[in-house]
Structure 1
Amino acid sequence: MNLIDTHCHIYGEDFTNDVHETIQRAFEAGVEQLYMPAIDSTYLENMFSLEKAYPGKCFAMAGLHPCYVKENYQSELDIIENLLAKRPFVAIGEIGLDFYWDTSFATQQYQAFETQMQWALQYQLPIVIHTRKAMQETIDAVKPFANKGLKGIFHCFSGTAADAAAIIDMGFTLGIGGVVTYKNSGLAEVVAQIGLEHMVLETDAPYLTPVPYRGKRNESAYLTYIAAKIASIKNIPVEEVAQISSANAKKIFVHSV
């Protein structure tokens, strides 16, 4: 069984002491590739070192996470712009809108999001979207760029069936993670209505750990539990979930194939 973790933060502080062991466990579990979304410039060195240590297995993205859009956001964007001109990336992400904790930089979040989507079009890269308490606003912001051919993933999708339909209509894919295993999330019911051709799998490690490890640190090896849950919902073999979701991921991240 070959799985692809399309979204994991294995370069972060939670993995400082055992990142290589964590990656090895992922390989042993059948996870063949790990995609690392950016947060801000402070994590770039860690991401690049893992990419160098695991060529063809670990892939770095470029981007500024909406929760890290602060007073210095323009200088962060300058760093990304320079990097995009210097070296290849598999995607721009994670980018988007997050109005859950703080909306004091909402205007700047929109500006950063739109700038990075324009770069994605320029470099013909997919985007990986973070949206929290801003689903409709995010869909509305993406639509003009989707009309120009932009593609990508709505990471950590946990919206309604109507949200899923709107995202799929734009040509985007849904990133399904550990939330699908949570009893009262409602995501399993939505996933039941969505074709596998519109999904990729992700852990968002170290966050959103699937059952049976909920409450503990997440890691890419636990992607197997997400695949198994989707297989149960769809009443199909888990190998089929792995095959289709991995093929979907490879279509999106064409620069890494």
Structure 2
Amino acid sequence: MLLTDTHTHLYYETDNTKLDGLIQRCRENSIHRLFLPNVDATSVPKVYALTEAYPDMCFPMLGLHPCDVKAGWEQELDEIKSFHNQHKIYAIGEIGIDLYWDKTTLDIQIQAFRKQIAWAKLLKLPIVIHCRDAFDQVFEVLQQEQGEDLRGIFHCFTGTVEQAEQVVALGFYLGIGGVVTYKNSGLDKVVEQVDLKHIVLETDSPYLTPVPYRGKPNESSYLIYVAQKVADLHQTDLETVATTTTENSKKVFGV
């Protein structure tokens, strides 16, 4: 069995002994592919260091997180772009719009989002979208930018069935994580209506820890609980979910 965590910040762990443990537990749970989004310029070296330490498992992405889009964001994005030739990357992300923390930066978040979509198109790479309390704004940008060269993942999707259908119609995959295991999230009702061919799995570790470890720091090895929940919702087995979602991730990332 082969599971893929399409979104993990595993590099936040700086203790090498603990990091080795995190990786070992991934292997024990059949999670052998980890996709790492940075968030700002300072996090890129950490992403690359983890990729170099575990080249058989870790795949880097580059982007400027919407929560880090502030005054001077153009310079920060240029710095992030300067890392591009140091290591092969597999997506531009995570990028998008976040109106949960700060609504005042919406205009520059949209500017940064568009600029990074253009970068992804130039490099012929997928995008990994962060969208929090901003589905309409994100979707408006995507509709304006849509085309054969625009593809990717709606990271941490927690929307409605209708929104899921809109995402799928644009050719994007739904990134499903620990929220699907939460009793009152309602995401389970959505996921059971979405064909597995439109789903990829993620943890967003160390955040959004699935049941039974909710309330504790998340880690990529806990992806097994997300996968099992999706299997239960689709009345199928874990192997089927692992195979289908990993194949979906290969279609997105090209590896």
Q: Normalising by structure 2, what TM-score?
A: 0.97
Asked if the contact 2:64–2:94 (Cα under 8 Å) also holds between the matched residues in 1, the reply is: yes
Does 1:22 pair with 2:22? yes
Deviation, structure 1 residue 198 = 0.1
Residue in 2 aligned with 1:5?
A: 5
1:38 matched residue in structure 2: 38
Q: Which amino acid aligns with 1:102?
A: D
Q: SS of 1:70's equivalent? A: coil
Q: What is the deviation of 1:86? A: 5.3
Structure 1: 4+ residue segments shifted above 4 A: none
1:242 maps to 242
Q: What does residue 120 of structure 2 align with?
A: 120
Structure 1 residues not aligned, in runs of 5+? none
Where does residue 208 of structure 1 map in the other structure? 208
1:55 is displaced (CA, Å) by 0.9
Matches within 5 A, 1:1-257: 1-12=1-12, 15-17=13-15, 18-84=18-84, 87-254=87-254, 257=255
Larger CA deviation: 204-213 vs 134-143:
134-143
Matches of 1:87 and 1:231, distance apart in 2: 35
Deviates more, 1:73-82 or 1:129-138: 73-82
**Shift, 1:113, TM fit:** 0.4
| Contact kept in structure 1, 2:98 and 2:131, CA below 8 Å | yes
Q: Distance in 2 between matches of 1:234 and 1:67?
A: 34
How far the C-alpha of 1:19 sits from its partner, in A, is: 1.5
TM-score by length of 1: 0.96
Partner deviation per Cα, 1:23-68 (whole Å, 9 max, x = no partner): 1111111001100011001111111111111113101111000001
Secondary structure at the aligned position of 1:41 is classed as coil
| Number of aligned positions between the proteins | 253
What is the Cα deviation at residue 140 of structure 1?
1.0
Counterpart code for 1:51: T
- State the Cα deviation string for residues 196-224 of structure 1 (Å, max 9, x = none): 00000000000000000000010000000
**In the alignment, is the contact (CA less than 8 A) between 1:126 and 1:151 conserved in 2?**
yes
Structure 2: stretches of 5+ with no match in the other structure: none
SS at match of 1:78: helix
Deviation of the 1:234 alpha carbon: 0.6
Structure 1's 250 and 216: CA in aligned 2 closer, same or farther, altered over 3 A? same
Counterparts in 2 of 1:153 and 1:235: CA distance versus 1, 3 Å: same
Give the SS at the match of 2:78: helix
State the AA in 2 paired with 1:160.
T
1:85–1:48 distance in 2 versus 1, CA, 3 Å: closer
Which amino acid is the alignment partner of residue 214 of structure 1?
Answer: R
Q: Deviations over 1:81-123 (max 9, x none)?
A: 3233554210000000000011121111001100000010010
Identity of aligned residues (%): 49
Contact conserved, 2:60 with 2:88, CA < 8 A, in 1? Answer: no
